[in-house]
Structure 1
Amino acid sequence: MELAFFTSDDDGASLVATDLAVSSWGKDHLHGVAVSGAMARALEQRLEQEGRTELRPARYTVDLFRPATRQPLTFTTDVVRASPRLALLDVTALQDGVPVSRASCLFLKPTADTEGEVWSPGTSPSPPPLEVAPPTTEPHVPFLHSDAGWSQDFREHQNASRKTSWNSAVPVVAGEAATPFQAVAAIADGASLVTNWGTNGVEHINTDITLTLVRRPAGTEVGLQAVDRLEQDGIAVGTASVFDREGALGTIVVTSLANARRTVDLGKEQWEDDGRRTTSGA
């Protein structure tokens, strides 16, 4: 069966979730990777309808304010502002007419770099070695890095060390190839994983995603590396760097709420490239 988060109904008006879109938080709860990818797809479609494909996504913000379930998803899009150098678009995802999430994307027109010297860190995270993760366009279980090194075994990385992930995007809709923007917008939800995953598993659920980009990824392979994390009174803010095989291309900030009563224990879960998930122990 083709790997994808959704199928499209006959007239394309709504998306129906597949098993691959189901979250570890609950059997009827969709994960943010699928929902964010679907909203990015709706925004790209609206940008194309407006004839503004020369613009690049520069800032994409998602509010995940209500759990999305396996009911069909529909989308409404609006042009908030359009000018020669930018377009600001909004999208709302609905189920049975009720909004479950929303996103806004600022698309900017590329020009030329300035010539003045400005500080930059000068270093960026790197993908796994080619012998570990050869270039591919096929979806796969993420490669993860912590003190345990690179592997695809989640059980090896349930620790308190800095996390990095390397991901190959799952198509949002069956029969459609994922675009680079859909890939990075979907994978951006994984910033919660690399910043909130500790010794007990993932004890926080993210309520939003803010992705900033200077360019689109050079394909559908995207990496995330934890950069910073703060927490107080059950509210956590995590920052991750976004990179591909050509280097760094942006950042992600996620805000999360403590959800310890429904911790996702990744030390007991393992995934296969065909989407199957197994859980060990109790």
Structure 2
Amino acid sequence: MTTEPTAFFRADGERFVPLQRATSGWGGADGPGQVRGTAVSGLLGRGAERAAARLDDADRFRPVRWTVDLFRPGAMAPGTVEATVVRGGRRLRLIDVALVQAGGTVARGSLLLLATGGPTSGTTWTAPLPAVPPPPPADLVPDPAEPTLYRAGGDWTTERRQENAARKATWFPSAPIVEGEEPTGFAHLAAIGDAANLTSSWGTLGVEYINADLTLAIARVPAAGDGVGVSAESRVEADGIALGTVTMFDRHGALGSVTIATLANGAQVVKP
């Protein structure tokens, strides 16, 4: 029995073939299956980061915003990632990416990178950082087929059934996006950003809302191989639409935040 987390995709030349772990709970047990948002965002983030790395002086730039629009269900079928450099300036860089399946675009992402530098001299007001849960103990190991830990107001656990109204947090050890590759810290963050919906929309009946997008804003990137946590911060709901905000964190503290726009998904509910 393997103890290594399984990947979302297998590379086949320029194509990426979804593996079992990429399957979304929203596809339904009897349907053809669709790709989960974490897999889509992670694969697009990987593609955007690689495109940025090919530009001159790439080491001086840091990813600070990652936005994904999930406007069509991704099929459990091969696809390609297409990247476009929108701007490759000295202080700001912008990369657009798209996931293409069967000749059509099913999701798109946009990566903003800024040049790093020294701090300014003045003093600026800032609110206290959001309080995040303590990281899970290092010896608490999740199922490699679904490498996630859960927290619902108590201790971290491998138990997935947390149908209650408590504030949720989730923790994701580093896991491959593409088979045979260790993800970078940013690619792992890009994938886990979609878990904002799981973490902020998980209630007494499960997850009743599906997210149409995600926007990740980060001040720093975790090291490759490090785990990342997601902690619910706020939720605003009206007329079947809800906005959720979560804090991303690692063992050193808060990294940034994710905001998602979601809509009620009728009778279909995901029970993680």
TM-score by length of 2: 0.90
Q: Which residue of 2 aligns with 1:68?
A: 74
1:185-239 superposed Cα distances (whole Å, 9 cap, x missing partner): 0001000011100001000110001000111113431011111001111111000
Q: Which residue of 1 aligns with 2:117?
A: 111
Structure 1 residue 241 displacement after superposition: 0.4
8 Å CA contact 2:55–2:88 kept in 1: the answer is no
Q: CA RMSD in A?
A: 1.9
8 Å CA contact 2:35–2:76 kept in 1: the answer is yes
Q: Which residue of 1 aligns with 2:10?
A: 7
8 Å CA contact 2:130–2:247 kept in 1: the answer is no
Could you list the runs of 5+ residues in structure 1 that have no partner in the other structure? 267-282
Q: Which runs of 4+ in 1 moved over 6 A?
A: none
Q: Which residue of 2 aligns with 1:95?
A: 101
Aligned: 1:159 with 2:157: no
Within-5 A mapping of 1:165-180: 165-180=170-185
Structure 1 residue 260 displacement after superposition: 3.0
Rounded Cα–Cα distance in structure 2 between residues aligned with 1:118 and 1:139:
44
Rounded Cα–Cα distance in structure 2 between residues aligned with 1:149 and 1:245:
16
Change in Cα spacing, 1:35 to 1:149, as seen in structure 2 (3 Å) is: same
8 Å CA contact 1:139–1:170 kept in 2: the answer is no
Structure 1 residue 117 displacement after superposition: 4.1
Rounded Cα–Cα distance in structure 1 between residues aligned with 2:130 and 2:44:
32
Within-5 A mapping of 1:174-213: 174-213=179-218
**What letter corresponds to residue 248 of structure 1 in structure 2?**
A
Could you list the runs of 5+ residues in structure 2 that have no partner in the other structure? none
Match of 1:255 among 235, 239, 261: 261
Q: Which residue of 2 aligns with 1:276?
A: none
Instruction: Return 18-27 or 48-57, whichever deviates more.
Output: 48-57
Aligned: 1:18 with 2:19: yes
Rounded Cα–Cα distance in structure 2 between residues aligned with 1:102 and 1:146:
32
Q: Which residue of 1 aligns with 2:135?
A: 128
Change in Cα spacing, 1:69 to 1:129, as seen in structure 2 (3 Å) is: closer
